[in-house]
Amino acid sequence: MRVVAAVVLLLLLLALGAARAEAEDFRTPSPAAKATCDCSSFETALAEARALYASRQNGVEMPLTPVMHNRYRASVDGAFGRAACLADCENVPETARNRARVLLAEAGFKNASIGAAEWRARLVVVLAAMTRCLEIEPSQLACQLWHAGSRGLLARGSWNPLNIRLPSQLMAEFHSARGGVPPGRDQGDGGATRGEASMLLRVPRYAGGDLAAGRQLIEEARSAPNFGCRLANRLVLAEALGRTGDFPGAHAELKSIVDGGLPACGSERYENAMSLEDAARCLARLDAFPDTDPGWDEDCRRP
């Protein structure tokens, strides 16, 4: 059953935008220092934390440089600390604190260059925050998305045969997080659709995977206006084509991603830069070994 756990981990990293640390070229320390915040000015403080988080994309171009990376890391870490503090403001209504919890989750999933132990500690905080969010607002879609993601990633260290049900449970939660809208039109850039499609493509059939359904879902998402603004969506599409035997289609999609460069739209410019590197690596492997799995399960990083 451990193969299922490994698959769940890898697909969640891709689907939710977390970078695999061993592939990150820039290794800056990222201490989890506890931040302070002004609970009496909650709305202002939350707006400032959001602005800090948004600033992680400033000045990002290809190729990525250590300066870009350090600016990105500082913005993400600062936002995570502030959001964690604001989520603990006892005199603020829980529904307002949920907005801080969502920011905490978004920042907590950005793992580029932080150590495995620290990232796991952040995921524990994220899961607790998302669990509380759903206790207050069970239909909060963003909290459903991040709850599924953090639960799946944390499960990798404590897998047992009974968890054969976990992939199906996570897929159901991703599906619910879509909120009933057409594929790809959820959560800004289709994060819940991407999560559900990735699991359908990567989870073994006996645990709920379905290649045809995964391909259909991500192909339907292509019509969403923001689909191309997040290159991770297009990487999942290329993977779906390749996994269902359409290697020329997968190659064409990857080449289009690489040739197109960074999209002008979307709020995930640094993440898109990392996706461009993934696409180039997968394309090179397909060039070298046509009609062969380039290593989708490891984002084409296997030796």
Amino acid letter, residue 191: G
The mean pLDDT of the chain is: 88
7 has a pLDDT exceeding 70 = no
Q: What is the pLDDT of residues 69-126, one digit of tens each?
A: 999 999 999 999 999 999 999 999 999 999 999 999 999 999 877 788 888 999 999 9
The answer to whether the predicted template modeling score (pTM) of the entire model surpasses 0.85 is yes
- Is the CB of residue 244 less than 8 Å from the CB of residue 229? no
Q: What is the pLDDT of residues 21-79, one digit of tens each?
A: 433 444 344 445 578 999 999 999 999 999 999 999 999 999 999 999 999 999 999 99
- Is the CB of residue 247 less than 8 Å from the CB of residue 270? no
Query: Cα separation of 268 and 277, whole Å?
Result: 14
Those residues with Cβ within 8 angstroms of residue 51's Cβ, 6 or more apart along the chain or in another chain: none
Query: Cα separation of 293 and 303, whole Å?
Result: 13
Give pLDDT, residue 3.
Answer: 45
CATH of domain 2-298: 1.25.40
Give pLDDT, residue 111.
Answer: 83
Structure token digits, residue 98: 């949920």
Give pLDDT, residue 78.
Answer: 96
Chain centroid to Cα 300, Å, comes to 17
Query: Cα separation of 265 and 226, whole Å?
Result: 8
Amino acid letter, residue 120: R
Q: Which residue has the higher pLDDT, 6 or 278?
A: 278
Give pLDDT, residue 207.
Answer: 87
Long-range CB pairs of 55-61, under 8 A, 24+ apart, other chains included: 56/110, 56/270, 57/267, 57/268, 57/269, 57/270, 60/262, 60/269, 60/270, 60/273, 61/262, 61/273
Q: What is the pLDDT of residues 197-234, one digit of tens each?
A: 999 999 889 889 999 999 999 999 999 999 999 999 99
Dihedral, 108, 37, 53, 114 alpha carbons, nearest 10: -40
Give pLDDT, residue 63.
Answer: 93
Domain boundaries, the chain: 2-298
Q: What is the pLDDT of residues 138-167, one digit of tens each?
A: 999 999 999 999 998 888 655 555 567 888
Query: Cα separation of 260 and 262, whole Å?
Result: 7
Q: Where are the alpha helices (DSSP H) in 137-246?
A: 141-154, 166-177, 191-202, 211-221, 231-243
